Amino acid sequence: MGSKRQGVKPEAAPTAERIAKRLARAGLCSRREAERWIAAGRVRVDGKVLDSPALNVTAKSRIEVDGKPLAAPEPTRLWRYHKPKGLVTTNNDPEGRPTVFQRLPERLPRVLSIGRLDLNTEGLLLLTNDGELARFLELPSTGWRRRYRVRVHGEVDEGALAKMAGGVSIGGMKYDAIEARLDGRKGANAWLSLSLTEGKNREIRRIMEHLGLQVTRLIRLSYGPFQLGDLPRGDVAPVPRRILRDQLGANAARFGLTGVEGDAHRRRQA
């Protein structure tokens, strides 16, 4: 993990919030999943079954999901996970493939991934118990860069790599600027370093294919200030709350990260 703070625009912490956001903060689901739960009639507020997510709630609101009171949100936490190749970043895969969440240690609470890594991508995947934090850190406007090492097969055109700094358009799909560097060649294979802030679905693979290159290995090394480092494959490591607070800067208050009290206790529990 790095300690250099990256620029994130501050946003005020609200006293009232949308019901879907409140469910996400509790770590039950993402905001989109919460909206689906509401549409299915699974959520009740102050005795009334909701049929729309267009409702603000406060700390005094009585919220129930599937007839059970919504527990107070746990303190916001973040973990680094070294995702191995061959796992899908989803809770349930219709094709029956193994998932990230099936392989996580049982000691972890229910967590959500911040973004996704596809089946054959390995490396750093951030996990959190706060759905709203996941949503916030996934936004390109947050400004956190994702850095990758990529092994490709084919002839690398360094001029084409340099042009990626101005963005790339493929079949009507526009991709934001990508910093790309050739690290070395060995026969028909080469290693590249890539850095981007957007992270659309299969973005790197599609762009490499556009350049006539086949990706044979893809490793995410960092997400914003958080590094894969020497974390062993398949392992999970907690990010200290004070470090998360420092990296979020003025946005830390949105997620209850206004102090470091209790960090030592939480590290013992991790």
State the CB neighbour count (10 A cutoff) for residue 137. Answer: 22
- Structure tokens given for 238: 């907690």
Q: Which of 46, 66, 118, 176 is catalytic?
A: 118
SS percent in the chain: helix, strand, coil, step 5: 25, 30, 45
The residues, ordered by sequence, that sit 6+ positions from 242 with a Cβ below 8 Å of its Cβ are: 260, 263
Instruction: Give residue for tokens 């689901």.
Output: 29
How far apart, in Å, are the Cα atoms of 257 and each of 3, 5, 31, 82?
Answer: 17, 15, 20, 25
Taking the C-alpha atoms of 100, 102, 108 and 110 in order, what is their torsion angle to the nearest 10 degrees? 90
CA distances from residue 79 to 31, 45, 96, 181, 249 in whole angstroms, order as listed:
20, 31, 26, 29, 18
Structure tokens at 62: 């009585």
Name the DSSP letter for residue 57. E
Query: Distance between the two ends of the chain, CA-based, in angstroms?
Result: 17
Known catalytic residue: 263?
no
Number of other residues whose CB lies within 10 A of the CB of residue 211: 18
- Tokens standing for 93? 């895969």
- Residues in the chain, how many? 270
Task: List the beta bridge partners of residue 169.
Answer: 174
The residue among 220, 209, 213 whose CA lies nearest residue 182 is 213
Catalytic positions: 118
